[in-house]
Amino acid sequence: MPFSIRLSAFVAALATALVLAAPLRAQPAAPAPTPAAPAAAVKVASGVQYELIGRWDVAKLNQILTTDTPKFAGITVNYTPARNAVKLYRVTYPSVVPEQGNRPISATGLLAVPDTADTVFPMVSYQHGTVYGKEQVPSFPEQSPETQLMIAQFAGQGYLVIGADYFGMGASKEPEGYLVKGSHQQATYDMVLASRSVLADLKLSDSKLFLSGWSQGGFVTLAMLEKLEAVGMPVKAATTASAPADAFAAFNGFLNFPRKIDANWITTIFILNVFSFENYHNMPGLARSLLTDETFEISRKAYYREPFDPAAVPTDLRKLIRPEYFDPQFFAKSAYGRLVAETNAYRWVIRTPVRTYYGLTDEAIRIEIGQLPMTYQKAIGNDKVEAVPTGDTSHRGTFATAVPQWKLWFDAQ
C-alpha cells in the first residue's frame, strides 16, 4: 500500500491544488533536471517509443542523497556518493489489462541510464509507492522523491534503473488500478520488455535484473516476481521495504485490530482500492456497497481526481466504511472482501533470493506483515526469503534505511 505520509499533509496539499494531485508523502523541493535538447520521440519495435527528458549530473544526484532524501524521509542515512551523471528517458509502451480480457492500452515508465562509456549494466526495476498525483511517478522523476533516491543511489553508481508508472498513472489515460494484481504484473513485465527494446536501440544492454519496491511498490515487486518466475525471466534478487504482501491480512488489521500508531490516512487506501476494483473487475456498485452514503461522493471525486473539498475526506475508517464491514465474517464473504483476499503476493514457491525489509515502528505496516513472506516460505521448507528489520523506523524511514542495504546486497550478487 502506499502507506506513505499522514493524511493531514495530503489534505493540505490538496487544498492548494483543489484536485487529488498531491502524494501521500510530503515532498521536498525536487532538484530541477538539466534540460535536455528538444527531440522528437524515438519509435522502436512493437509500438514502444522513448524520449530524453533530462540529464542529472553528479552534483544533483549527491544533493538528493545528502539533502533532499533526509528531508523527505525524516531520517539521516549514509549513502554512497554518485559517481556518474544519469540520462533520463520516458518510455511509452503498449500493454493489456488482464482483468478485462487483455484489452490493449498504453502505459508509461522511466529508464535511467548511467552516462558513461560502458554499454552493459546491471538493471534494477523499481516499483513505486502510492501517490495521488498522476505525475508523481517514475517517468516524471522531478515529482517523485522515492524515484530520485533510486536514481541517485543506483543509476549514479552504474545501474540501469527502470520503473513502470502503473496503469492509470503517468501519461496513462486509464483510471488508476490500485492494488489490482494482474494489471500491476502486466505493467511491470511489459516495462521490462519495453526498456530492453529501448536499450537495444541505444546500443546498450543489461547483464542481470534486480527488483525493488517500497510500500505499495513492495507488493507490486513480489507480484512482479511471481509473474517473471512464471514466464521464465531470470531475476538475480529482489528486495522490498514495508511491503503489504497480503492485503486481506493488512486490511483486517486496520478494520478490526487498529494500533495506536496506525496512520490516520489509512482511509485513503480503501478509497483508491475499492474504486480500482470496481473499474478493473467491472463490478458496478462495489464502491457504494463499501462506503457510507455520506462519504461516497467525496471519495468518488478523490479517486477520479475531480475538484472537491479535501477537508471532507474522513480520517476515521468508521466514518468512511459501512458498519457491517467491521464484522470479520461479513467482510470475508462480501464481494469486496473476496477480491481483497485474492490480493496477495507470496503464496508460491519462490525460487529467487528475496529480502523483505520492515520497520519496528512503521505506522502502516505491522512487523508481522513485513515478516509474512518469509514466514510462509519457511513454513513450506523454503529458505529463499529473509525478513530484515531496519530498527525503530517509520514508514518512510524504513524505505530510506533499506535502499543502501539493497544496493550492498545487489552489488554482492
Contacts for 301-308: CB closer than 8 Å, 24+ residues apart? 301/20, 302/20, 302/268, 302/271, 303/20, 303/175, 303/176, 303/271, 303/272, 303/275, 303/276, 304/175, 304/275, 305/19, 305/20, 305/21, 305/134, 306/19, 306/20, 307/18, 307/19, 308/18, 308/19, 308/20
Number of domains in the chain: 2
Interior angle at CA 192, CA 202 and CA 86, nearest 5: 50
Of 286, 253, 51, 6, nearest in space to 170 by CA: 51
The answer to whether position 153 is within a domain reads: yes
Q: Is there a domain that residue 56 lies in?
A: yes
The model's pLDDT over 54-109, given as tens digits with 9 standing for 90+, comes to: 999 999 999 999 999 999 999 999 999 999 999 999 999 999 999 999 999 999 99
d(CA 204, CA 247): 38
Query: 122 and 210: one domain?
Result: yes
Domain boundary among 341, 372, 389: 341
Q: Among the listed ranges 145-149, 203-207, 310-314, which one has the minimum average pLDDT value? A: 310-314
192 and 261 fall within a common domain = no
pLDDT at res. 39 = 61
Q: Which three cell numbers stand for residue 406?
A: 539493497
Q: pLDDT band for 342, please (50, 70, 90 cuts).
A: very high
Closest CA to 160 of 148, 169, 150: 150
Share above pLDDT 70 across residues of the chain, in percent, rounded to a whole number: 91
- Dump pLDDT digits (tens) for 294-313: 999 999 999 998 988 888 88
Indicate if 134 and 261 belong to the same structural domain.
no
Question: Mean pLDDT over all residues of the chain?
Answer: 91
At residue 1, does pLDDT exceed 50?
A: no
pLDDT of residue 46: 82
Higher-confidence position of 24 and 218: 218
Let me know: does 280 contact 186? Beta carbons within 8 Å.
no
Distance CA 373, CA 85 (A): 36
pLDDT range class, residue 38, cuts 50, 70, 90: very low
Report, as an integer, the average pLDDT of 230-239. Answer: 98
Is residue 192 domain-resident?
Answer: yes
Is 73 in the same domain as 42?
A: yes
**For residue 37, what pLDDT is reported?**
47
pLDDT average, residue stretch 34-38: 47
- Residue 26 predicted with pLDDT over 70: no
Where are the alpha helices (H) located in 64-126, listed in sequence order?
69-73
User: Are both 292 and 364 inside the same structural domain?
Assistant: no
What is the mean predicted confidence (pLDDT) over 186-210?
Answer: 98
What is the model's pLDDT at position 363? 96
CATH number of the domain to which 175 belongs: 3.40.50.1820
- The residue segments making up the domain with residue 93 are 7-245+353-411
Q: From the DSSP assignment, how many helices (H) and strands (E) are in the chain?
A: 15, 10
Asked whether residue 167 falls in the same domain as residue 291, the answer is no
Reported as a pLDDT band with limits 50, 70 and 90, residue 29 is very low
**pLDDT higher than threshold 70 for residue 390:** yes
The more confident residue out of 157 and 40 is 157
Q: Is a pLDDT exceeding 50 seen at residue 12?
A: no
Q: Mark whether 92 and 227 lie in a shared domain.
A: yes
Establish if 130 belongs to a structural domain.
Answer: yes
Same domain, 272 and 337: yes
| Mode of pairing for the β-strands spanning 205-214 and 160-164 | unpaired
Best-predicted range by mean pLDDT among 37-46, 300-309, 395-404? 395-404
Q: Are residues 161 and 271 in the same domain?
A: no
pLDDT of residue 40: 84
